[in-house]
Amino acid sequence: MKEEINELISKKEISDKIDEIAEQINRDYAGKKVTLLCILKGSVFFTCELAKRLTVPVEFEFMTVSSYGDGIVSSGAIRIVEDDELEIRGDDVLVIEDIVDTGSTLSFLLSTLAKRGPASLKLCALLDKPSRRVKEVDVDYVGFEIPDKFVVGFGMDYAQKYRNLDYIGELIIKED
């Protein structure tokens, strides 16, 4: 099998969009401290770039949630891998995700987090793929809406490859 990547969103487009999202977050959280909850591993690039542009005070938390494994289709089995009973009671929490796809994982995660009593709980995603939605999820801050394509780069991977690309591309797997 041969893997090919076609660029969908350039490095500059990503940077410009993160600037826009950061401006909105700075307005919405003015005078508050926000806890950025980075969903590992895919959203680490996005979280770091976003945090550098925020002027409001931030704290970082990290969580690993998975439903993909090494495939290109969600397994449907949602696992919270790293949690350590995250303490967010009374905090303004902004969950940072790389992509919202079916909504199943994020619906489960947001429901779980809401039970921990945050002052507010919002979702920020670099990419949104609404055509694949099976569970409704409100995304408060969205970078790009994309079609139903499997994407890699800027933190997103295929079997742990391509995370380090500075753009987002569609992964195409061709039989030899």
Residues with Cβ within 8 Å of residue 25, at least 6 apart in sequence? 34, 50, 54, 56, 94, 124, 141
Q: What is the DSSP letter of 10?
A: -
- Give the separation between CA 33 and CA 30, rounded to whole angstroms: 8
Q: Is 101 a catalytic residue?
A: yes
**Does residue 3 sit in helix, strand or coil?**
strand
Q: What is the DSSP letter of 72?
A: S
Residues with Cβ within 8 Å of residue 48, at least 6 apart in sequence? none
Candidate list 101, 128, 140, 166, residue with the active-site label:
101
- Give the separation between CA 61 and CA 95, rounded to whole angstroms: 9
Q: Which of 11, 22, 13, 83 is nearest to 48 (CA)?
A: 22
Give catalytic residues, as residue numbers: 101
